[in-house]
Structure 1
Amino acid sequence: MSWGPSPEHGAERYLRHVAIERGLSENTRDAYRRDLTAYSEWLAAAGIEDLADVAPETLADYVAELNGSTGGPPFAPETIARRLSTVRGMHRFLFEEGLLPEFAGSGVRAPKKGQRLPKALSTDQVAALLDAAGGDDPVGLRDRALLELLYASGARVSEVTALDIDDLLSGQGGDAWNDPERALGEGGFLRVTGKGSKQRIVPYGGYAGRALAAYLVRARPAMVAAGRGTPALFVGPRGGRVSRQSVWLVIRGAAERAGIETEISPHTMRHSFATHLLAGGADVRTVQELLGHASVTTTQIYTQVTADMLREHYLHSHPRAR
């Protein structure tokens, strides 16, 4: 259950802080107010009424919209940087004041000029990443299942960490609680709760299913026993639901072990999921439904990414391309 301030209330608290504690000029405060008003309006359109529900990927989506990645006119890089700085400042202040459970601005940066989306990983890089996340210890089994599911479903990290075991819908007629190997071994479906509490059903394949089954049989019971009991699908060694920040550490650790030097985050798996589906011939409307985008224009940016990839392969492969 969320417990943070509304965007409007949080903005007012922050504006009072910068006026009294930092002594900013009236013109600067007016600019801050305009930036925070625009941000509050964007959150309202996304169905987010509580700042505690804002995650790093939410701010990444906001930056993508400002940069024109969702089909609207792009703002100047300087404007994007200023707006993000204002929003990050508010989130940091509210976090340090104990009004938010976490700092949502961690790892979120304004894009450089011309940058639209974080680059998707190649299929070989994804395979190397998933292999690097593996291990026979409980945490290793959990990490492999978690990253397999992120890539298999394209779900946001906040959606995956919010999953309960009951959200695993088996395609095999088994019971994920009592017989996960039979229920999940060949894949199934997830009941995902996205932005605005909207639910969608997303399939996942056998790789993710078998990783989930291994985790549920060989790792999760001992982890849950260390805590007070929870329906959460992914838990930590002390039995509590795994956090979004923990997933960031997991994926970055796996990337380092896999030798992937590009900037990577849980949202990179979502970008890779969409890009690889479209490159494989999936319909953009299908990808829209799987990602949980309210508008197809948000999804269509991936068609441009896919086209850019095709052009790059063409220029490097065709003898008369240049």
Structure 2
Amino acid sequence: MAYLNGFRAYLKLERSLAEHSIEAYLNDVGKLIQYFEAINQPFNVHTLELKDLRGFISWLNSLGMQASSQARILSGIKAFFNYLVIEEIIAEDPTSLIEAPKLNRKLPDTLNINEINSLLEAIDASRSDGMRSKAIIEVLYGCGLRVSELSEMKISNIFSESEFIKIIGKGNKERLVPISGSALKFLSLYLNEVRLHLSIKKGHEDYVFLNRFGSRLSRISIFTLIKSLATKVGIHKTISPHTFRHSFATHLIEGGADLRAVQEMLGHASITTTEIYTHLDRDYLKSVITQYHPRS
């Protein structure tokens, strides 16, 4: 379709999205085109109406697609028609009145400080990969990073004296995140006592976390590390590297941190995304009342 190449360029140049995100958006539009093929009607951005979009949602539903998947696809399609309006290809956005399926927002699992300590204590720091594992956990929890941000973290972006690290987040947006003394300590030990002795592959010299072959540590390797540690210490929650990000935010808000400050540290574009942690905080307060109030 003629407009898809322009949409791709818009996502890459204007929105600064990663290639896998761009492909996801294009696949979403592809689903809409597939629907019109299924009902033997031509797909035309100039004549698309609200009733067509409602028919599309019904079709997605008939395929057994979950509400969360439907909502994600609709988000991609909305972005496509927004692009068409910006480029003045169409005058009005037909998706503006369509509502995404209602989602039951599941609160993420978090770890308490004892569980985080038990994970750290289970790591054998005498091993070279053990020191790296301690640094990974400390940075994930101490800075609230996404797993991709940790994997792509650069040595040149660590400012030890001012205790900040520069992170390149979603959409190539930069942010400065404070790093705790504990995280800096284990990061320094890993860099100076373990990483220093690796034979580093060309092009990977500035990445902080490397595998034993001297290449940037993959996201999958970090997931595997977290899962194996959780199994080792007997934590039965569904946890991943993202669990430390949730725990970071939850513990800050429980401690009285300003929501805007937490939003800035997490790199959330919208305060609404950060507000989920206020729900977690309310659950925490409720549990305190249940546990300690004599009338509970």
Matched, 1:75 2:92: no
Matched, 1:200 2:175: yes
**Structure 2, gaps ≥5 residues long:** 1-16, 41-54, 81-98
Matched, 1:140 2:130: yes
Residue 160 of structure 2 corresponds to 170
Q: Structure 2: which amino acid aligns with 1:38?
A: L
> Match of 1:6, SS?
helix
Residues 278 and 9 of structure 1, relative CA distance in 2, 3 Å threshold: closer
Matched, 1:154 2:144: yes
**Aligned equivalents of 2:178 and 2:135: distance in 1?**
15
Q: Structure 2: which amino acid aligns with 1:238?
A: F
1:134 CA displacement? 4.4
Residue 47 of structure 2 corresponds to none
Contact 1:144 1:211 in 2 (8 A): yes
1:41 CA displacement? 4.5
**Aligned equivalents of 2:260 and 2:225: distance in 1?**
31
**Aligned equivalents of 2:106 and 2:271: distance in 1?**
17
Identity in percent? 34
Contact 2:25 2:77 in 1 (8 A): no
Contact 1:168 1:190 in 2 (8 A): yes
Once the two structures are superposed, the pairs formed by residues 77-226 of structure 1 within 5 Å of their partners are 116-171=106-161, 188-223=163-198, 225=199
- 1:220-247 residue CA offsets vs partner (Å, 9 max, x unmatched): 1223x15335210111000110111111
Residue 273 of structure 1 corresponds to 248
Q: TM-score, normalised on structure 2? A: 0.70
Contact 1:226 1:237 in 2 (8 A): no
1:191 CA displacement? 0.1
**Which runs of at least 4 in structure 1 moved beyond 6 Å after TM superposition?**
12-20, 24-29
**Aligned equivalents of 1:218 and 1:226: distance in 2?**
15
Contact 1:132 1:255 in 2 (8 A): no
**Aligned equivalents of 1:286 and 1:18: distance in 2?**
43
> Match of 1:190, SS?
strand
**Aligned equivalents of 1:253 and 1:213: distance in 2?**
24
**Aligned equivalents of 2:266 and 2:278: distance in 1?**
14
Residues 283 and 3 of structure 1, relative CA distance in 2, 3 Å threshold: closer
1:267 CA displacement? 0.7
1:9 CA displacement? 3.8
Q: Structure 1: which amino acid aligns with 2:177?
A: V
Matched, 1:6 2:23: yes
**Aligned equivalents of 2:18 and 2:101: distance in 1?**
32
1:169 CA displacement? 1.0
> Match of 2:185, SS?
helix
Residues 150 and 252 of structure 1, relative CA distance in 2, 3 Å threshold: same
Q: How many residues align?
A: 239
**Aligned equivalents of 2:276 and 2:149: distance in 1?**
22
Q: TM-score, normalised on structure 1? A: 0.65
1:10 CA displacement? 3.6
**Aligned equivalents of 2:188 and 2:218: distance in 1?**
21
**Structure 1, gaps ≥5 residues long:** 45-71, 77-113, 173-187
**Aligned equivalents of 1:17 and 1:147: distance in 2?**
44
**Aligned equivalents of 2:243 and 2:224: distance in 1?**
14
Once the two structures are superposed, the pairs formed by residues 20-99 of structure 1 within 5 Å of their partners are 30-31=59-60, 35=70, 37-41=73-77, 75=102
Larger radius of gyration: 2
Q: Structure 2: which amino acid aligns with 1:263?
A: T
Contact 1:148 1:211 in 2 (8 A): yes
**Aligned equivalents of 2:33 and 2:78: distance in 1?**
22
Once the two structures are superposed, the pairs formed by residues 290-309 of structure 1 within 5 Å of their partners are 290-309=265-284
Residues 75 and 12 of structure 1, relative CA distance in 2, 3 Å threshold: closer
**Aligned equivalents of 1:141 and 1:151: distance in 2?**
16
Residue 227 of structure 1 corresponds to 201
**Aligned equivalents of 1:220 and 1:259: distance in 2?**
30
Q: Structure 2: which amino acid aligns with 1:7?
A: A
Contact 1:122 1:272 in 2 (8 A): yes
